[in-house]
Structure 1
Amino acid sequence: MRVTTFTCLVLDFRFSFFRHSTENLKTRVGSLEALYLAKRGHHVRLYEYREDIRKTPQARGRSINLALSVRGRRALKDVGLEQHIVEQHGIPMRARKIHRLDGSTYDIPYDARTKQCILSVGRNYLNSALLKESENYENVEKFFNHKLVDTNLKKGTLQFYKTDTKETVEVQADLIIGADGAFSAVRKAMVKEPLFDYSQSYIEHGYMELCIPADDNGSFQMPANYLHIWPRGNFMMIALPNQDCSWTVTLFMPFSYFKSLDTEVRLIEFFEQYFPDSIPLIGRKKLLEDFFAGSPSPLVSIKCRPYHIGDKALIIGDAAHAVVPFYGQGMNAGFEDCTLLDRILQKYDDDVPRALEEYSRTRWVDTFAVSDLAVYNYIEMRDLVTRPSYRLRKALDDFIFWLLPDVWVPLYNSVTFSTMPYSQCVKNRQWQNKVLMSTFIVLGGLLTVVSTYALTR
């Protein structure tokens, strides 16, 4: 590897839009990238708007649990954390457990053939583990309570306001990496550059976080190794297991629905109609308290390109490609950014200009694809999973996958349980659709011929 002296500054800045959230949601991608670069021998300075998350009490925040899958696990393995996170903290979720209106349930396995699963992981714990690991590297410095107030990406300078001492400091870096979330200040500076494409869209649905506590014995109130889903057509509710045997429950639905539930009576009537089995699990009193203590949060998708400015600045994670959470790929895609950037730096022997150009030129195709997949999966989770046609197609996919595992990989398996590029996952699905459609047309034609022949006889 080429010996370099350049300083890489990794930003983890929280916009004031999220200021009242009790969890630091963006530290993980920046901290992971810091570990990758530190392993390559570079000096890294990590700047964060908030205080050190390891020194603040964990509290309920406006956030959705993390679903760790193969892409994220590969990144954690690269920095030596996969085994610890998986064995000591992750809760396996092997299937979707679908809750019908009458309270009965049925399972839809994620991987009926090889029994792979996704893992429910706590945000705070993962963030803390990444920060702790960085302490093993002398070439990583961390600066908390630093709010970004000004940028000059072409010169590689940033100005921070220190929220604890009320001072302003200016820093210089050979490379600035912005991992500062969906409302990225680094990306905001990039938007001003010529030929930078940027689009932002909100879906009409918001989300609100609720909670199912552990039972009186400190155990789970529902079967633990599942992602529980209450699909209701135009809206849904999901629940992911936590390490303390509670459940993070997230209600997704149009903002107009949230607005209509403006009294305790209307809220209880709504849950009695659509989620009756959840009321005794959450508790009527807790449901009322949690619902009216907060407000629904928006869900944004962001697409942009290129991801770099010369050899001075780069954006990764949500700063480059925020996605809605319905495929569980937001964190995994961000972690994959770090993995792919590391592979490209290795390929070019740490020639930064060439590495950034290739990363920016190639990565956007897959991040655009996963953004579209995430929106589609919301429709699947809230509506399609209840339809016989969906279950028939899944059974057919699983059977062909079992029969021809090297030829036919179902869409969900390719996205979640492989490192196949997201865009290739989409192309595979399109090819599979054409194959099935052609097969059905041929079979239909044969059936028609046979039927006609039988009738004429």
Structure 2
Amino acid sequence: MQKPLDIAVVGSGLVGSLLSLYLQRAGHRVTVYDRSQDIRNVNFSGRSINLVMSDRGWRAVAGAGITEEIKKIGIPVDKRAIHKLDSSVVFQPYGKEGQTIYSLSRGILNRKMIDLAEAAGVNFKFEQKVWDIDLAQASIQTGESERGEWTSHQHDLVFGSDGAFSRVRHKMQRQSMFNYSQEFLNIGYKELHIPANPDGSHQLDPHSLHIWPRGNFMLMALANLDGSFTCTLFMPHEGDFSFASLTDKALLEAFFAKHFPDTEQVIPDLVEDFFKNPTSYLVTMKCFPWTYQNKVALIGDACHAIVPFYGHGMNAGFEDISVLFELMDAHGDDWNAIFRAYENSRKPNADAIAELSYRNFMEMSSKTADENFLLQKEIERWFSDLHPDLWVPLYSRVTFSTEPYKQALEMGDFQNAIMEKVLALPGIKTNWKTAEVERFILSELSK
């Protein structure tokens, strides 16, 4: 049991609210500051991407003892549904039977997490804009404006969980030897909506991640509990097939009729949603160090924001919490040791999931409709069933295990190199489920 401390958490998002719950239950006094209104009193404004919870996220949720509470607001998803240009649909299982991710509404999940943390005794202070942090003193200054009067709040520790454009990190960036980078994709996203059937049922299979892969752009959809789907259109900001090119109703409808013909009946408010909802940006952010002495630490998107194409932004942030609390158990009240071990453990894995997330856009937007890619997945699944101890597909390593992201990336690259050789074997497209192919893969693995 640690000595109780007065801890500030800046940011009441998913990671901040779960972290505050952990800290409060560990015996600390926790105050959460957020510059926005209480999300429980706000309707979302059409700029969300539905979340998927996988094993890493569930591990952190289980550590807080709230698994059943969260499962009640999610929908299990066990496969991709690939919508081809001819309106046919191909299903791709994610893993073995029983392996699922969960589709969760960001808004509903965030509200639930705040409710649970507040019930445990966490003090939430909304509409409190943090403008400055005294790193050495662990004090934060809040006020109405950056140039107005500020109020100082003294704490023992400060955690910055305030997102990709973190104010806490901004102050840390002014320190010597602080490395920081951000990279925006030319790809943006816009939220669309598939309503429920009149009887409240889903218009599409609710247990699939629906993807319309079209090369440089794609549409995806995940189910909600109310029978609707949250859809996300990913496109370049500029160019021939881009948000900038769809300037009026006629162009938009013609574009969807050509590239997403099977959505005409299921997205009745396409025009209204497209021109009402904002076009949002995607950024990868990296930095180091993540901590300052034994006083301040960054967590989640504040230190490793990633693009959403592997569905692991939340899961990686939740895993930060799992690792942090393992280290708290190991090092007791030595916060210097806790923070050093935390950032050194998580930084390589955060970089690895950033790379995996970037790559997965190409897989989802292009390769999921490619015959060679589909064949590779079939061969991998077949060989994995034969030799489950020798071959775990990359997606399963990342999503259905807690294997370090860095190790998963390295093994994924190794396995992909083998599969490139397998796909080059004569006659492989029609004759792959053979002892010869099995022996070939086994020999490559032993090299």
* Cα pair distance change 1:396/1:442, threshold 3 Å: closer
In structure 2, the residue corresponding to 1:280 is in which secondary structure?
coil
In structure 1, the residue corresponding to 2:265 is in which secondary structure?
helix
Residue 362 (structure 1) aligns with: 345
Q: CA deviation at 1:57?
A: 4.2
TM-score w.r.t. structure 2 length?
A: 0.91
Q: Is the Cα–Cα contact under 8 Å of residues 10 and 159 in structure 2 kept in the other structure? A: yes
Q: 1:187 aligns with which of 164, 169, 174?
A: 169
Give the distance between the partners of 2:360 and 2:235, measured in 1 at CA: 14
Write the mapping of 1:44-443 to structure 2, written as runs, cut at 5 A: 44-54=30-40, 56-86=41-71, 88-111=72-95, 113-138=96-121, 140-161=122-143, 168-256=150-238, 257-283=242-268, 286-436=269-419
Given residue 9 of structure 1, which amino acid in structure 2 is its aligned partner? A
Q: Is the Cα–Cα contact under 8 Å of residues 384 and 392 in structure 2 kept in the other structure? A: yes
In structure 2, the residue corresponding to 1:424 is in which secondary structure?
helix
* Cα pair distance change 1:127/1:441, threshold 3 Å: closer
Give the distance between the partners of 1:442 and 1:103, measured in 2 at CA: 32
Between Structure 1 and Structure 2, how many residues are aligned? Answer: 424
Q: CA deviation at 1:115?
A: 2.9
Q: CA deviation at 1:407?
A: 2.1
**Residue identity (%):** 41
Q: 1:38 aligns with which of 24, 36, 39?
A: 24
What do you get for the CA RMSD once the two structures are aligned? 2.0
Give the distance between the partners of 1:442 and 1:93, measured in 2 at CA: 34
Q: CA deviation at 1:236?
A: 0.3
Q: CA deviation at 1:434?
A: 4.3
Name which of structure 1's ranges 188-197 and 43-52 shifts more when overlaid on structure 2.
43-52
Give the distance between the partners of 1:100 and 1:438, measured in 2 at CA: 28
Given residue 28 of structure 2, which amino acid in structure 1 is its aligned partner? H
Given residue 31 of structure 1, which amino acid in structure 2 is its aligned partner? S
Q: CA deviation at 1:85?
A: 1.3
Give the distance between the partners of 2:30 and 2:63, measured in 1 at CA: 18
**Which blocks of at least 5 consecutive residues in structure 2 are unaligned?**
428-435, 438-447
* Cα pair distance change 1:89/1:347, threshold 3 Å: same
Given residue 403 of structure 1, which amino acid in structure 2 is its aligned partner? L
Q: CA deviation at 1:114?
A: 3.3
Q: CA deviation at 1:276?
A: 1.0
Q: Is the Cα–Cα contact under 8 Å of residues 46 and 278 in structure 2 kept in the other structure? A: no
Q: CA deviation at 1:281?
A: 0.7
Residue 5 (structure 2) aligns with: 6
Q: Is the Cα–Cα contact under 8 Å of residues 198 and 303 in structure 1 kept in the other structure? A: yes
In structure 2, the residue corresponding to 1:114 is in which secondary structure?
coil
Q: CA deviation at 1:435?
A: 4.2
C-alpha distance after superposition, 1:35-68 (max 9, x if no partner):
11122211111111122222x1434431101111
In structure 1, the residue corresponding to 2:129 is in which secondary structure?
strand
Q: Is the Cα–Cα contact under 8 Å of residues 352 and 409 in structure 2 kept in the other structure? A: yes
Name which of structure 1's ranges 309-318 and 43-52 shifts more when overlaid on structure 2.
43-52
Give the distance between the partners of 1:361 and 1:345, measured in 2 at CA: 15
Given residue 341 of structure 1, which amino acid in structure 2 is its aligned partner? L
Give the distance between the partners of 1:377 and 1:218, measured in 2 at CA: 33
Q: Is the Cα–Cα contact under 8 Å of residues 162 and 169 in structure 1 kept in the other structure? A: no
Give the distance between the partners of 1:7 and 1:278, measured in 2 at CA: 52
Given residue 386 of structure 2, which amino acid in structure 1 is its aligned partner? L
Given residue 108 of structure 2, which amino acid in structure 1 is its aligned partner? Y
TM-score w.r.t. structure 1 length?
A: 0.89
Residue 442 (structure 2) aligns with: none
Q: Is the Cα–Cα contact under 8 Å of residues 30 and 123 in structure 2 kept in the other structure? A: yes
Q: Is the Cα–Cα contact under 8 Å of residues 68 and 332 in structure 1 kept in the other structure? A: yes
Give the distance between the partners of 2:5 and 2:21, measured in 1 at CA: 16
Q: Is the Cα–Cα contact under 8 Å of residues 44 and 107 in structure 2 kept in the other structure? A: no
Given residue 64 of structure 1, which amino acid in structure 2 is its aligned partner? I
C-alpha distance after superposition, 1:89-141 (max 9, x if no partner):
11111111011111111101101x23311111111221122122223434x22
In structure 2, the residue corresponding to 1:281 is in which secondary structure?
coil
Residue 21 (structure 1) aligns with: none
* Cα pair distance change 1:356/1:392, threshold 3 Å: same
Name which of structure 1's ranges 433-442 and 255-264 shifts more when overlaid on structure 2.
433-442
C-alpha distance after superposition, 1:424-454 (max 9, x if no partner):
101111232344466788999x99xxxxxxx
Give the distance between the partners of 2:57 and 2:424, measured in 1 at CA: 40
Residue 22 (structure 1) aligns with: none
In structure 2, the residue corresponding to 1:419 is in which secondary structure?
coil
In structure 2, the residue corresponding to 1:220 is in which secondary structure?
coil
Given residue 289 of structure 1, which amino acid in structure 2 is its aligned partner? E
Q: CA deviation at 1:7?
A: 1.4
Q: Is the Cα–Cα contact under 8 Å of residues 47 and 278 in structure 2 kept in the other structure? A: no
In structure 2, the residue corresponding to 1:271 is in which secondary structure?
helix
